[in-house]
Amino acid sequence: MKHYIFIFALTLILWINKQEKIISLNTKTQTKNETCWTGNLNGKIPIFIHYQLNDKLIIGEITYLNTKNKIPIRLLGTIEEDKSYRLLEFDKTGNITGVIVGQPTGKIFNGSWVSPKTKKELVMILSLKDTLISSQDIQPDKNQVFGNYHYQYGESGYNGDFNINKVGNDKIDFHILSLTNVERGPNIAEVEKDTVAMIGNSFIYKIPDSGNCEFKVTFYKGFVYINYTKGYCDNHFGIGATIDGIYLKTK
């Protein structure tokens, strides 16, 4: 009798463990699905947006449904302090072709789309869509992060370049140069070439003789994100110039 009770108890434990694993796998699968929206710009241009969130970063794509080939465009952005979203359309050269600003509320995502080139602004109205898209892995291959990164707001708008090279085991050198609007007379934000240690996919750097000007550089698959760790570096760069933001890998 005790033998049968033991077998029953063991079978029950194995069944419970199996169910817990299934529940765990299902939960992980759900968290990997991207958020999807569908709607239009100015009531005329149909669009589809999907993205995943990673801390304060937003990584996804936008598709213009009225185009012939409906090719998805890279969409990268940040969640601002007021919880609003700021999304940037990147072409393959790092040029930003559109800026979306808005804040999702429940099943509605309203905001605006602006062209950096023409300054034209369109009203954006989106509704949540139940399309299932699995999130792609955004963690980079450490050996693939080296090269050039760039962003550009139109032909004469704000722009920046970031370059990183490997110089030894866990050692890299880097250089950052960003300019403000060229039409207004560019101001410069530059971090001169220096060598630092990189841990994992990021490093923190304090600019020498700058007080508290410190920033973190984090690499993802296809782009790099630079953010200040102790507030903006007041009085260190030219007026309005800054090195923070998202840079797309171009080479």
Token reading at 99: 């800026």
Q: Is residue 23 part of a domain?
A: no
Structure confidence at residue 17 as a pLDDT band (50, 70, 90):
low
The enclosing H or E element of 10 equals helix 2-31
Which of 81, 103, 129 terminates a domain? The answer is: 129
User: How many angstroms separate the Cα of 181 from the Cα of each of 60, 108, 157?
Assistant: 27, 34, 4
**pLDDT at res. 31:** 53
- Mean per-residue pLDDT, 231-244: 88
Does one domain contain both 106 and 147?
Answer: no
Residues 6+ apart with CB under 8 A from 10: none
Is residue 126 pLDDT above 70, yes or no?
A: yes
**pLDDT at res. 22:** 44
The string of pLDDT tens digits covering residues 200-219 is 999 999 999 888 899 999 99
CA-wise closest residue to 136 among 31, 26, 246, 32:
32
Looking only at the bridges linking them, the beta strands covering 188-197 and 245-249 are unpaired
Does one domain contain both 106 and 183?
Answer: no
User: In degrees, to the nearest 5, what angle opens at C-alpha 173 toward C-alphas 168 and 179?
Assistant: 165
Does one domain contain both 152 and 229?
Answer: yes
Does one domain contain both 159 and 214?
Answer: yes
| 165 burial level (CB within 10 Å; 0-12, 13-18, 19+) | middle
Is residue 180 pLDDT above 70, yes or no?
A: yes
User: For the whole model, what pTM was predicted?
Assistant: 0.84
